[in-house]
Amino acid sequence: MWIVRHGQSAGNAARDDAEARGLGLIDIQTRDADTPLSQLGQQQAGALAHWFSSQPPELRPTCYYSSPFVRSMDTCRAIAKALGKDPDEISMDERLREKEFGVLDRYTTRGIIETFPELAEQRRRVGKFYFRPPGGESWCDVILRLRSVVEVLRRDHVGDRVIIVAHQVIVNCFRYLLECMDEQTILAIDAKADVPNCGVTEYALTGAGDEARFCLQRANFVAPELVEEAAVTRAPDRPVGPK
């Protein structure tokens, strides 16, 4: 199983620009679900698709899942097309959607601190794992919806080779679940480095029945094609809260 973060989005680029200029709001007009890949993100998706198509048949996906957000679907479609899969056969699953940021959506770190100082302080005290902004989700909320995805994978896809294209928080929350981590472990991984756009985290299922376990093969792997053909971006997804 491969869990992939989408290519760079227009939101990622707009966020970088807003942060660099010290702005409080990110200048992007689309809603988060409709934010497309940037030109660089399209190149990254194409490069990753080329890498998958260069693998031997037994190391290529046979089942495709994606967040319904445009940037994820377009990344997944590029991979499916390169492997001769009908993009219409991609399973869109709303449980794979981006973490919902509620009232903090579109605000930069500076904007959150200036506009919502009480929420920024609450997040600092509670920690990002448990903090739920008004109208949004905590990491725990995301993990709860992903638990049912893991059960579907165990039940319906034994013997299949599955690719999931989604978002940075989704990748890390899957790692929390599949590797049986605790809060401190996953937050240390998150703080160490962002998940690269089109980075690949790979698992193999070992054992059978109740003894079956997902075993990590590699995390945040960047295909050589991405290094050669498209600069790898490591910016967090657009609507983030304060660090």
Give the count of beta carbons closer than 10 Å to the beta carbon of residue 14.
Answer: 21
Average pLDDT over residues 136-140: 98
How sure is the predictor about 242, in pLDDT bands with cuts at 50, 70 and 90?
Answer: very low
What integer pLDDT is reported at residue 236 of this predicted model?
55
Average pLDDT over residues 173-180: 97
- Look at residue 179 and tell me whether its pLDDT is greater than 80: yes
Q: List residues bridging with 25 in a β-sheet.
A: 107
Instruction: Characterise 118 by phi-psi region: left (phi > 0), alpha (psi -120 to 50), beta (else).
Output: alpha
Which residue ranges form the domains of the chain, and what is each CATH number? Answer: 2-229 (3.40.50.1240)
What integer pLDDT is reported at residue 17 of this predicted model?
86
How sure is the predictor about 237, in pLDDT bands with cuts at 50, 70 and 90?
Answer: low
| DSSP-H helix ranges across the chain | 10-20, 39-53, 70-82, 109-115, 117-126, 139-156, 168-178, 183-192, 224-229
What integer pLDDT is reported at residue 229 of this predicted model?
58
Looking at residue 239, what DSSP letter applies? S
Sheet holding 2-5, edge to edge: 91-92, 63-66, 162-166, 2-5, 200-206, 213-221
Token duo for residue 154 = 């165990």
How sure is the predictor about 234, in pLDDT bands with cuts at 50, 70 and 90?
Answer: low
pTM higher than 0.85, yes or no?
Answer: yes
What's the pLDDT tens digit per position in 89-104? 999 999 999 999 999 9
What integer pLDDT is reported at residue 230 of this predicted model?
55
Q: List residues bridging with 166 in a β-sheet.
A: 5
What integer pLDDT is reported at residue 238 of this predicted model?
45
Long-range pairs, 50-53, Cβ under 8 A, ≥24: 50/82, 50/225, 50/229, 51/223, 51/224, 51/225, 51/226, 52/79, 52/82, 52/83, 52/163, 53/82, 53/83
- Look at residue 212 and tell me whether its pLDDT is greater than 50: yes
Average pLDDT over residues 131-155: 96
CA separation for the pair 6, 104 (Å, rounded) = 22
